Structure formats: structure tokens, C-alpha cells
Structure 1
Amino acid sequence: MGTLAAAQPLLIALILAWSGYGKLTSPDQADRTALPRLLGESGTARPGWFGASRAVAAYRGVAVLEIVIALLLLRSWAIGAVAAVALSVGFTGFLVYSKIVVPEASCGCAGKSAKPVGNRAIGRALLLLATAGLAATASTAWWSAGVGLLVLVVEAAAFAMLSAELDRYWLLPLRRLRIRLGHPYAGTASDDTPLVATQRRVLLSPAYRAVDGLLRSDIHDYWDDEDWRYVSYAAKYDGRRATAVFAVPHQNSTPSAIRVAVVDEEGLTLYRPTVLATAG
């Protein structure tokens, strides 16, 4: 157990460095999170540090804090572990707040991601808290962990599976493989475009990433209307049953051309992303 605890600061440092770097390189993602609501910004952003909105300034501040703690973990692991515990508690609380108060907000945890805060993001924060708590009990430095460092491979894989920002590297390829191997609607589209091709476009679109956390089914209906194909999924929004409808243009193959709206059982729009990220 001692070597396992000693190894944790290295993993936490790498995760915080990655997260901090993502925030610093994509500060505009702050406006997609719950930070504007938390800081009382609505409508026109109020100026903060260095002329940026308060949300962006706070976002950058968290990024710098993450990198500082990452460096502490590598050099002064005992102090860094305690700081990481406090930071993880803050992350978890913020994500729970986001999910409850601003359900359409994205995590913003590691930069560009339009996906709303979901159980995976909260689970990742809790896992970070657990590893930081374990690191705080270490009696030796991480470079003395020996075979304990091998366990970090499994832990890193767990973090990757909980990170929506990394879905395009493993989850989307798996979904595309599943579609190719056995989707029941493949090749049945009325305009000679196989539904599997349409679904592949949807899965790769910013619109899909924006509502992925709300979806509760695979495709359950689709239809063509002039220049568009509409694809619907069962969804859940704010505890209510809903339907996510994607509009996929036949003539425009760019991912950003796909639009989505989440509607209730009466057809009223519950959520429509107005600004979609072009990268996830």
C-alpha cells in the first residue's frame, strides 16, 4: 500500500498539467461552463483581470493553480498532495453545481469539449479526489515507489475512460466499429445514403458532443425532408423525457453543418446549442 500511495503524485501531476494546459490554450471554453452563472455574469460579460471576463479570468487562474500544484507534486509531494485534495474537492463541488443548476454547461475540465457535465465528469473528479487522498498518506516520494508505478497504467486508463475530451481517440472508433458490424438500419435510407453513413457523421459532429450526455438510446427514428435528413434519439433533459433531433444536410458534409435540438413530448424545444465547438 505504501508504494501505491507513493506513486500517486506522479499521476496526479500529469493529469493536472494536462488539464491546466488545456484551459490555458482554450480560455474561451470558460463561457461554456457554469462559471458565468456562478460569478453572476449574464448577457454581456463583465471585465475581469487583464480585460477578460471574470469567468475567463477565473478559468485561467484555475489553470495556473493546477500547473503550480502539478509542479509541487513532482518536487514537494507532501504539500502538493494536500493541495490536490483541496482542489479536487472544489472540482467535484463545481461539477455537481453545474449539473444541477446549469445542466447544459460543459465541464471545461481540460479545454475544448462541448459535452454537458455528466456522471463521467463527476466520477473523474471523485477519482482524482481519491488518488489525491491516497497520495496524502504517502511516506516516501514518488520516485521511490518502484513497482507501484506500474499500477498507474491502470489508473490512467480509468481516467481516460472517464474523460469525454478523449472519446474521439477510443470511444468513437468503437462506436463506428459497432455500427459497421451490426447496425440494423444500415443501408436502408431512402435517398441511397446508408443510415450508417449518416450516423457516422452525427457521431463526429460538434452537435453530438454537445448533447451526448443527454442521450438515452441509439437511433430510434429517421426521415428525409428535401435537403435534410432528420435523426432522432431518446433523451432526458432536466429529469424529463425528451427527444434529441439532429438535422443532417445532404449536400454539406462538414461536421459543423449538423444541428440539434432537444424537444419534449409536445414538440417544444427544451435545449438548442447556439454555439458548437468545432473540436472536442
Structure 2
Amino acid sequence: MGTGFAAAQPLLIGLLLLWSSYGKFAEPQQADRTALPRLVGESRAKPAYQAVAAVEAIIALALLLPPVWAIEAVAAVALSIGFTGFLIYSKVVVPEASCGCAGKSAKPVGRRAIARALLLLATAALATTATTGWWSAGPAVLVLVVEAAVFVMLSAELDRYWLLPIRRFRIRLSHPYAGTASSTAPLVATQRRVLLSPAYRAVDGYLRSDIHDYWDDDDWRYLSYIARYDGRRATAVFAVPHHDSTPESVRVAVVDETSGLTLYRPTVLATV
């Protein structure tokens, strides 16, 4: 089983790298939201982003096709180390930068992204011990379902497919201000707009509650959530215009609970 488990890893890694590569080729503008402009310069950020995508695709195909024993797994290890180092650099030097790993996501690099890179590194290291192809792994391939589920849970890009529906269902069952909204708009409608907005995706990793408070002021409704930012107690405040129903019109700021200073305000928000 242990040998089969190691042999199965290239299948998972190859599929993950193909997904990541496709996301970079499909959305090259995502490079501008990462730390690449700071690291290699604005003019070279997009070419560097696409070069990484090409390397991912080559390694993925090498892992999925008949193996050249261990060489492609070692390459995957080196790539994973690079991913991890880049994400740590982004977290420390450009904290507002997004991961840019795959797909559209305006969320800053967080623990989940770094944990995903470390998990990819661990699976690649295990793949270097394989002595047969993934198609010979037998029942061990079924274990990849569990591993894939863990990768999904660590991928902010996929939250809208599973995490947000769960949160919406939970809110429908019980939310703290049901039936108390003003006559301007039902609170549940405002909440739905927030949940569907790029602003919510940009900060949901910091949120620690459902709606904590809300109020109307002229043409805007404000919703606050308890949050934590860099280990500090904070409040996330969403501004939702009454006369613009598009999710992209929602704005958000994370402010320090004690001083009231703005800790984070995403200025460029990705759309779905």
C-alpha cells in the first residue's frame, strides 16, 4: 500500500499543476495582483507569470505520461519550494498581494495558500520515492480523493463552489437580524449581495462572525463583521449602495477595533 500510495502522487500533482497552469494562461492579468511586479518589475511580471505557467504544464505532462523515474518528481519538488518561498515573500513584503496560483482571487496570501504549497511539496517529495507509474498504484489511487478534498479546502479560488454555498445555507437557517431590516431593502437581500461580491472574497479569510451590526446612512447600507487581521482584533465594514445592485459596487475596509485605523482596503477587486 505504501509503494502504491507514493506511485499515485504524480497523478494528483500533475492534475493540480495543469489546473494551476491553465488559470495563469487564461488570466495573465492576475500577475498584476501578485508580488511579481515588486519582485521582477512591472514590465516583466506578466511574462514571468506565463513562464511559470509553462513550467507547470511541462512538469505536469511529465508526471502524467510514462515516467522518467523520479526526475519529474524532483522537478515538482523544486517547483513547490519555489511556490512556498514566493508566497512567504508575498506575505511578508507585499501583504496585500494575492496568490495568483490559479483562477481569479483577490484575496491576499494567507495561511491556507502557504499550507497548500507545503502540502504540494510533501506530496512531490513522496512521489520521488515511487518505483512504478501511477496507473499501477492500484487501490491506493482512491486515497487521492481525500488528498484532493484537502487541496480544495485550502484553495481560496474554489471557495465560491463549496464554502460560500455552505455559509449562505447557514445564514438562511439563522441569521442575527432576520426581519429587522429597514424599509429601504431587506437585510437578507443586502447580505446576499455582500456574499456574492468580490469585496467579500477579498476579506472572508479574516472574518470571524456573521453580521455583527448594520445601519443605513443616506444612499448606503453598512454591514460590520468581527474580524482578525495579522493577529489584531478588527472589524470588517462593508459599504453597500442602495441604488446599485451589482456585486462589484460593494466596498470593504478592515479597521482596527481599538484605534479605528484602516488596516486593509482592497483597491482592485476581481470579478467572477
The answer to whether the superposition gives a TM-score over 0.5 is yes
Counterpart for residue 225 of structure 1: 217
Q: Is the 8 Å Cα contact of residues 95 and 107 (structure 1) preserved in structure 2?
A: yes
2:268 to 267, 271, 275: 275
Q: CA offset at residue 215 of structure 1?
A: 2.4
Uncovered stretches (5+) of structure 2, i.e. residues with no partner: none
Measured in 2, the distance between the counterparts of 1:22 and 1:187 equals 41
Counterpart for residue 209 of structure 1: 201
Measured in 2, the distance between the counterparts of 1:180 and 1:218 equals 12
Residue 29 (structure 2) pairs with residue 28 (structure 1): yes
Counterpart for residue 71 of structure 1: 61
Q: CA offset at residue 273 of structure 1?
A: 1.5
Q: CA offset at residue 27 of structure 1?
A: 0.7
Q: Deviations over 1:221-257 (max 9, x none)?
A: 1101121100112223344332221101122111001
Measured in 1, the distance between the counterparts of 2:94 and 2:161 equals 28
How many equivalent residue pairs? 268
Which stretch shifts more, 213-222 or 99-108? Answer: 213-222
Q: CA offset at residue 102 of structure 1?
A: 1.5
1:42-53 equivalence runs, <5 A = 45=42, 53=43
Counterpart for residue 128 of structure 2: 136
Q: Is the 8 Å Cα contact of residues 6 and 142 (structure 1) preserved in structure 2?
A: yes
Q: Deviations over 1:52-75 (max 9, x none)?
A: x21111111110000000011022
Q: CA offset at residue 191 of structure 1?
A: 2.6
Residue 174 (structure 2) pairs with residue 182 (structure 1): yes
Residue 16 (structure 2) pairs with residue 15 (structure 1): yes
Q: Is the 8 Å Cα contact of residues 27 and 111 (structure 1) preserved in structure 2?
A: no
Measured in 2, the distance between the counterparts of 1:181 and 1:219 equals 14
* Structure 2 residue matching 1:213: 3-state secondary structure: coil
Residue 218 (structure 2) pairs with residue 196 (structure 1): no
Which stretch shifts more, 177-186 or 230-239? Answer: 230-239
Uncovered stretches (5+) of structure 1, i.e. residues with no partner: 46-52
1:252 to 233, 244, 251: 244
Which stretch shifts more, 10-19 or 230-239? Answer: 230-239
Q: Residue type matched to 1:22 in 2?
A: G
Q: Is the 8 Å Cα contact of residues 26 and 112 (structure 1) preserved in structure 2?
A: yes
Residue 267 (structure 2) pairs with residue 266 (structure 1): no
Residue 54 (structure 2) pairs with residue 61 (structure 1): no
Q: Is the 8 Å Cα contact of residues 176 and 211 (structure 2) preserved in structure 1?
A: no
Q: Normalization by structure 2: what TM-score?
A: 0.94
Q: Is the 8 Å Cα contact of residues 234 and 254 (structure 2) preserved in structure 1?
A: yes
How large is the RMSD of aligned CA atoms in angstroms? 1.5
Q: CA offset at residue 213 of structure 1?
A: 2.3
1:43-122 equivalence runs, <5 A = 45=42, 53-75=43-65, 76=67, 78-122=70-114
Which stretch shifts more, 207-216 or 28-37? Answer: 207-216
Q: Deviations over 1:165-212 (max 9, x none)?
A: 111111110000000001121221123533232222111100111122
Change in CA separation of 1:223 and 1:184 when aligned onto 2, cut-off 3 Å: same
Q: Residue type matched to 2:46 in 1?
A: V
Percent identity over the alignment is 78
Measured in 2, the distance between the counterparts of 1:28 and 1:126 equals 25
Q: CA offset at residue 105 of structure 1?
A: 1.0
Measured in 2, the distance between the counterparts of 1:102 and 1:251 equals 35
Measured in 2, the distance between the counterparts of 1:165 and 1:249 equals 26
Measured in 2, the distance between the counterparts of 1:11 and 1:240 equals 37
